[in-house]
Amino acid sequence: MFLNRRNSREESMKRRIPTEPSEDEQKTLASWRLLFESPKYVADLNASPGKDEPVFGFEIEWDDLGQFGELQLELTESMEHTLACGNQVLKEQYSDRVMSTRPVIRIVNLPSSRYYEMSELRMRDRTRLLAFDAIVVRASPAIGWLKISTHRCNDCGLKWTINERLARPREKVKYCSDCLDAIVKDQSSKKPKSYYKDPTDVSMVAEENFYEDVQYLEVISPLMTKNGMALNQECFQVVVFDEYVGQFSRGDHLTINAMVAVDPLVNRDFIRDTRRMIYLKAHSVEEGLSNTSKESVDESVVDSLPLN
């Protein structure tokens, strides 16, 4: 009567009825619990890392993941979901120790097989977690983005959240799923009502939205200082979050462990332009270049690059 429900994006906004974790999720959660209850990480947690800080990056060695279930494989196949399970368990560990800090898992010391030359990235590398040697050329001001938006039905009072996407249009909420379901159910009854309240009367609850700090870095690799790419002002964009924001400046040498992602061109000619550029969505950052780096850095090239 009110809406066409065929739109898959609208369906994704419907309130999810709370359910028990699936069997696979239970295994993943159990593996993370075993890791955090192991002697090495119990000792780390008991030291109250990040106490009184709003956000703290809790570092976990990649090799340690291999000792607990199939965490390495699961991170390779479904990184965001596996990390979400791990962060849930880690948050429980902090709560048990009466710490209000929001902990975030940061996996470090990736194996040499995951080290990659930045200038050789291609679209086929999208979604891979790789390690890169990087030199910071420029850093943007720190900004924030709406990560999770909260909405409320002004009629029945139902609240729900939506996971937004970085640098994408905010998801448009069109209706309350409970109210719409009630209308559909009533219409199939023997004596349907002649009038229904508007299920599209919804609003955002701004004070309950969740925002995340974000910053953009422009970086080059050591090889790019020698092969002419840096002199041509070619660079890669890295997005850092939370505790990494504001920590890096021009000239810093870093090992960036990041998910390879794609974004529309900044100067695209039309809104539905299908061309894309590669950028790096940082998961963790380590100081200094990796031990696997075979290239020295031509600092004179770095110094010659424009500040803006």
Q: Would residue 228 count as lying in a domain? A: yes
Mean pLDDT, range 69-97, rounded to an integer? 94
Q: What pLDDT does residue 142 have?
A: 93
**Model confidence pLDDT, tens digit, residues 129-145:** 999 999 999 999 999 98
Helical H segments across the chain, by residue range: 8-12, 23-36, 39-46, 62-65, 71-77, 79-96, 177-187, 299-304
Q: For residue 137, give the nearest of 120, 150, 118 by alpha carbon.
A: 118
Please give the tally of structural domains in the chain.
Answer: 2
Neighbours of 138 (CB within 10 A): 16
Give tens-digit pLDDT for 148-162: 999 999 988 899 999
Domain range for residue 295? 112-144+211-304
Q: 139 and 39 share a domain?
A: no
> Strand 210-220 and strand 129-139: pairing?
antiparallel
Do 134 and 260 fall into the same domain? Answer: yes
284 with 306: CB under 8 angstroms? no
95-99, 113-117, 246-250, 261-265: range with lowest mean pLDDT = 261-265
Do β-strands 236-241 and 276-287 pair in parallel, antiparallel, or remain unpaired?
parallel
Q: Which residue has the higher pLDDT, 128 or 265?
A: 128
In angstroms, the CA 202 to CA 207 distance is 15
For residues 103 and 217, state if they share a domain. no
Q: What's residue 292's pLDDT?
A: 64
pLDDT at 141: 93
Question: Do 222 and 96 belong to one domain?
Answer: no
- The answer to which of 37-46, 118-127, 149-158, 285-294 has the lowest mean pLDDT is 285-294
37 and 126 co-located in one domain: no
Residue 102 lies in a domain: yes
- Which one-letter DSSP state was computed for residue 166? T
Q: What is the model's pTM?
A: 0.82
Statement to judge: residues 263 and 136 lie in one domain: yes
Q: What is the pLDDT of residue 2?
A: 39
Q: Are residues 63 and 119 in the same domain?
A: no
We report the CATH number of the domain holding residue 291 as 2.40.50.140
Q: Would you say residue 178 has pLDDT above 80?
A: yes
Residue 9's pLDDT is what? 38
